[in-house]
Amino acid sequence: MSWFRRLSNVFRGDRLSDDLDRELAFHIAAEADALEARGVPRADAEREARRRFGHRATLKERTRDADVLGWLEALVADLRYGVRSLGAAPLLSLVTILSLALGIGANTAIFSLTDALLLRPLPVAHPEQLRKLTMGSPDEDEFTNPLWERIRDRKELFAGAFAYGTDRFDLSTGGIERPAPAAWVSGAMFQVLGVRAAAGRLILPDDDVRGCAGVAVVSAGFAEREFGDAGRAVGRLLTLDGHAMQVVGVTDPDFFGLSVGRTADIYVPLCAQELFNGAGVLDQRSRWYLSVVVRPDPSLGDAQFLARLRAAAPAVFAATVPPNFSADQQKKYAAGTLGAEPAATGMSDLRGRYAPALYILMALVGVVLVIACANIANLLRARGAARQREIAVRLALGAGRWRVVRQLLTESLLLALLGAAAGVLFASWASRAVVGFLSLGPASVWLDLSLDGRVLAFTAAVTVLTALLFGMAPAWRATRVDPQAALKAGGRGAVGDARHRLGRGLVVLQVALSLALVAASGLLLGSFRRLVTLDPGFRREGLLLVRMDFGVAGYKDSQLVAVKTEALRRVRAIPGVSAAGASLLTPMSGMGWNEFALVPGYSPADARDSLIWMNEVSDGFFAAYGTALRHGRDLRGSEMGTTAHVAVINETAARHFFAGVDPIGRSFRLHGGKGDSAPFEVVGVVQDAKYRQLDEKPVPTAYVPLGQGPFAVPAATYALRTGSPAAVTAAVRASAASLNPAISLGVTTMESQVARSIARPRLLATLSAFFGAVALLLAVVGLYGTISYSVTRRRNEIGVRMALGAGRQQVLGLVVGDAAWLIAGGIVTGALLAFAGTRLLASMLYDVSPADPATFALSALVMAAAGTAAALLPARRAARLDPMEALRE
């Protein structure tokens, strides 16, 4: 209680003081009365009473100490003084707060992204209890449905278990597709996770039995977008890939599925797959697509649980051995094991791709913050020198050095807090902008960026560290003052270290860090530029891609090739289309198909060595894409869908499998689970083209005619070379509708598809360029400030030199030469730092080494030029000095 009273007394300030004055005044008056009663005259009595009372100010202070919390009162006083102090130098304060806002804000933004993507647990009940099942290593985390069913039946191991598989549904009933991200879930999922329904009900175990009619649960966001609000969604019908399904409920708005960075809009029970993919799909033993997540029995420890899993594994695998595997493969399969990984933070395909990029960005913004702190430290040091008199007075009056330092540090903390407040606002904007950037990738990204405890704690820690970093040294330096010297009339007195090593050291540090950042951003920019300008083996501009899904329109296996070729014929007839070709897969689509090739005369070193990437294509495909034919001929229209097995291979395949020999006329087989395929005769060789990523090394590829691959795929993508995409798109829609209005279409361009595949390098290049520029600017400003200050201090010296005959050129040379040492020192240190640091970028760079000499040389040149320019301004000022003026100082 007394503590609280002492705290509130801090803020009662003046009233407390007045009360104390009155109390003490009474004591003196009473004493004076007593003396007067003994005959002393009034005036003398009062004087004597006051004298006996002692030193009132000290007494007041000591009494007051009992009444207030001393440290809090000092803090409040320091803050008030700090605010006045900042107000006295508004420009400096503003510049400082802005730099801090940028520095702290950028750090907070990147950390909040890191937190949202990597650290934040799922918004479900007790996420720390959840475990993701694996088959030994963390990467082997996808199961088949038969395996899931065997695992699910081992109820004694789990308090709850469920399976989850992502997919995509087309909501349209023909015409342009409306894709929605979705998830296949087992009946127990929502219960195990403790998800609540915002409307209606969620999927229950009874909904997930074989032969079910299928129901749908939608996310809150989807319900709002489609139906207006959650309540209205229940009972409505959705068309998923052409199949009607009723919505029975809406999930809680917080729940977004299990994939961090994505949202699942529609949840459908596993059993409904039979409606979409035919009976038997649930028993397929080679379709790996389910994640299995469990809540272990709480009474089991981790080690116990793992042991039981491993013990259960043989039975589970033995019961699900795929019959079409070879004897060897079957043995390997049956020896599979089960493991578990913590799953509190869910799963994410984004994590693996973006975690390294985020770490790099964290390092970059950290460096920017350090550079900003060095700048501010220099600014404050210069200001500290200007406040010498004020500090000297305080020291002379008896303030302890530590007390004054504390007050200066409080000012720094105040600056940092104001900067942090602005920075948090900047960060919330910036992190949303980065997520927007990420959404330029193959699919849109959604992250929960709300401030949580971790992010706030991070910001607070960064703020305090920043304040200490830029405040401590100047505060210490400023109080190292000889009061006598400082108070002399001349005023220029003691300036601490005549060569102000601290200031110069800081500038060298800034230049060094800046150079490292500029070099890093140069590397990332160069890498991105190379990606954008490389030749992918086809012409990406002017290529319209139209994906037509015939399956939703009801076409079955035998009809597919016919309708695909008919569609191709119609599309070629559209005016404005100079060439067109169809294929199963398109480059950089994120999808791929590979097989093991059996080539007579070629013995592979291992399984990987006989890997060949495949595509089904139509005649005219290569012409449409602009991929050059090197030997032989293109595929013919008459070969589509027939048993005349032919193939066109790329240069790498020709070199790899048929080294030296002309492959035309030779043949190869595909090695598959159901036995080897019929032989494909090679009829042509084409230029190498990129398949999955722009930065991949060329891979052996084989192109077979439509319909000659092992699977009947209901969709095909038509590539149309045209200069007027909008008009052609409309014509294609009309054409497809006239063929069959239920065909669904997805339209994009090859350029945008390629651009989406390099979203990560683009992000890194853009942000690092931005921060590199900021760092350069900060370093230049810092250099300017220091040289400027140095010139001011050396006015006397320059005046003397000029009086003794030095010309303007010599003075210029003097100042710039001084700066040159700093810049050179910074560049050398920076180059070493960069050399060590850019190694961490290696995995993000394409076709450029982390120690690329051209980039380093260019960065050094830029830094030197910028630094010299920064030094020239004060140098010219120095050269224009009037020696008489300067000497009068």
Partner 1 sequence: MPGRGTPEGTLDLLILRILAVRGPLHGYAVTQLIQQSSADLLRIEEGSLYPALHRMAQAGWIKGRWGATETNRQARFYAITAAGRRQLAAEERAWTRLAEGVARVLRFA
| Smallest distance, partner 1 to C-beta of residue 402, A | 24
| Smallest distance, partner 1 to C-beta of residue 38, A | 13
Closest to partner 1 by CB, 56 or 353: 56
Helix/strand/coil (H/E/C) assignment for every residue in 454-496: HHHHHHHHHHHHHHHHHHHHHHHHHCCCCHHHHHCCCCCCCCC
What is the rounded distance in angstroms from the CA atom of residue 67 to the CA atom of residue 73?
Answer: 11
Residues 320-359, mask of contacts with partner 1 (x by CB under 8 A): ----------------------------------------
What is the rounded distance in angstroms from the CA atom of residue 579 to the CA atom of residue 618?
Answer: 12
636 is a site residue for partner 1 (CB under 8 A)? no
Tokens 């959840």 correspond to what residue? 130
Structure tokens at 825: 């020192």
Closest to partner 1 by CB, 54 or 211: 54
Closest to partner 1 by CB, 72 or 89: 72
Structure tokens at 220: 């809150």
Residue numbers 526-545 binding partner 1 by CB under 8 A: none
What is the rounded distance in angstroms from the CA atom of residue 287 to the CA atom of residue 273?
Answer: 13
| Smallest distance, partner 1 to C-beta of residue 82, A | 29
Orientation angle between helical segments 759-793 and 808-837, nearest 10 degrees: 150
Amino acid identity at 639: E
Which residue stretch of 30-38, 370-378, 408-416, 779-787 sits at the interface with partner 1 (rule: CB under 8 A)?
30-38
Closest to partner 1 by CB, 20 or 421: 20
CA 877 to chain centre: 45
| Smallest distance, partner 1 to C-beta of residue 14, A | 17
1 is a site residue for partner 1 (CB under 8 A)? yes
Closest to partner 1 by CB, 66 or 591: 66
Q: Which of 18, 21, 23, 44 touches partner 1 (CB under 8 A)?
A: 23
Q: Which of 13, 15, 30, 153 touches partner 1 (CB under 8 A)?
A: 30
Closest to partner 1 by CB, 24 or 485: 24
Which residues lie below 8 Å from residue 210, measured CB to CB, with a gap of 6+? 271, 274, 282
Which residue stretch of 21-29, 306-314, 479-487, 672-680 sits at the interface with partner 1 (rule: CB under 8 A)?
21-29
Enclosing H/E stretch for 207: none
Q: Which of 22, 51, 499, 608 touches partner 1 (CB under 8 A)?
A: 22
Break the chain down into helix, strand, coil percent, rounded to 5: 55, 15, 30
Which residue stretch of 29-37, 249-257, 606-614, 871-879 sits at the interface with partner 1 (rule: CB under 8 A)?
29-37
Closest to partner 1 by CB, 4 or 711: 4
What is the rounded distance in angstroms from the CA atom of residue 634 to the CA atom of residue 65?
Answer: 96
Long-range contacts of 388-395 (CB under 8 A, 24+ apart): 388/478, 388/481, 388/486, 388/491, 388/493, 388/494, 388/495, 389/486, 389/487, 389/491, 391/478, 391/479, 391/481, 391/486, 392/481, 392/482, 392/483, 392/486, 392/487, 393/483, 393/487, 395/479, 395/481, 395/483
| Smallest distance, partner 1 to C-beta of residue 22, A | 6
Site size for partner 1 (CB under 8 A): 27
Which residues lie below 8 Å from residue 365, measured CB to CB, with a gap of 6+? 103, 106, 107, 109, 110, 771
Closest to partner 1 by CB, 18 or 566: 18
38 is a site residue for partner 1 (CB under 8 A)? no
| Smallest distance, partner 1 to C-beta of residue 66, A | 4
29 is a site residue for partner 1 (CB under 8 A)? yes
Q: How far is CA 693 from CA 616, 685, 756, in A?
A: 19, 21, 11
**Ranges of H-type helices in 613-749:** 621-625, 651-657, 725-739
Neighbours of 297 (CB within 10 A): 15
Residues 253-292, mask of contacts with partner 1 (x by CB under 8 A): ----------------------------------------
Q: Which of 7, 8, 21, 27 touches partner 1 (CB under 8 A)?
A: 27
What is the rounded distance in angstroms from the CA atom of residue 164 to the CA atom of residue 189?
Answer: 8
Closest to partner 1 by CB, 66 or 498: 66
Radius of gyration of the chain (CA): 38
Closest to partner 1 by CB, 38 or 62: 62
Residues 490-509, mask of contacts with partner 1 (x by CB under 8 A): --------------------
Closest CA to 249 of 202, 193, 181, 294: 202
What is the rounded distance in angstroms from the CA atom of residue 714 to the CA atom of residue 616?
Answer: 12
| Smallest distance, partner 1 to C-beta of residue 26, A | 4
Closest to partner 1 by CB, 36 or 390: 36
| Smallest distance, partner 1 to C-beta of residue 42, A | 14
| Smallest distance, partner 1 to C-beta of residue 12, A | 14
Closest to partner 1 by CB, 19 or 847: 19
Residue numbers 43-102 binding partner 1 by CB under 8 A: 52-55, 58-59, 62-67
Closest CA to 179 of 804, 690, 747, 749: 747
Closest CA to 404 of 97, 76, 89, 74: 74
Tokens 């050059």 correspond to what residue? 628
744-749 and 175-176 strand pairing: parallel
Closest to partner 1 by CB, 27 or 569: 27
| Smallest distance, partner 1 to C-beta of residue 33, A | 7
Structure tokens at 872: 């020239």
Structure tokens at 440: 């330029």
Which residue stretch of 1-9, 234-242, 586-594, 752-760 sits at the interface with partner 1 (rule: CB under 8 A)?
1-9
| Smallest distance, partner 1 to C-beta of residue 41, A | 19
Q: Which of 18, 21, 33, 341 touches partner 1 (CB under 8 A)?
A: 33
Which three-class secondary structure state does DSSP give residue 748? strand
Orientation angle between helical segments 795-803 and 808-837, nearest 10 degrees: 140
Closest CA to 222 of 166, 275, 171: 171
What is the rounded distance in angstroms from the CA atom of residue 681 to the CA atom of residue 665?
Answer: 6
| Smallest distance, partner 1 to C-beta of residue 508, A | 53
Closest to partner 1 by CB, 67 or 297: 67
Which residue stretch of 23-31, 101-109, 294-302, 747-755 sits at the interface with partner 1 (rule: CB under 8 A)?
23-31
Do 562 and 780 touch, CB atoms closer than 8 A?
A: no
Closest to partner 1 by CB, 6 or 808: 6
Tokens 């050291």 correspond to what residue? 505
Which residue stretch of 25-33, 257-265, 703-711, 747-755 sits at the interface with partner 1 (rule: CB under 8 A)?
25-33
| Smallest distance, partner 1 to C-beta of residue 2, A | 4
Closest to partner 1 by CB, 23 or 341: 23
Q: How far apart are the first and last CA of the chain?
A: 60
What is the rounded distance in angstroms from the CA atom of residue 791 to the CA atom of residue 785?
Answer: 10
Closest to partner 1 by CB, 55 or 880: 55
291-296 and 667-671 strand pairing: unpaired
7 is a site residue for partner 1 (CB under 8 A)? no
| Smallest distance, partner 1 to C-beta of residue 77, A | 20
| Smallest distance, partner 1 to C-beta of residue 7, A | 11
| Smallest distance, partner 1 to C-beta of residue 37, A | 11
Closest to partner 1 by CB, 18 or 885: 18
| Smallest distance, partner 1 to C-beta of residue 44, A | 19
| Smallest distance, partner 1 to C-beta of residue 50, A | 11
Residues making contact with partner 1 (CB under 8 A): 1-2, 5-6, 19, 22-24, 26-27, 29-31, 33-34, 52-55, 58-59, 62-67
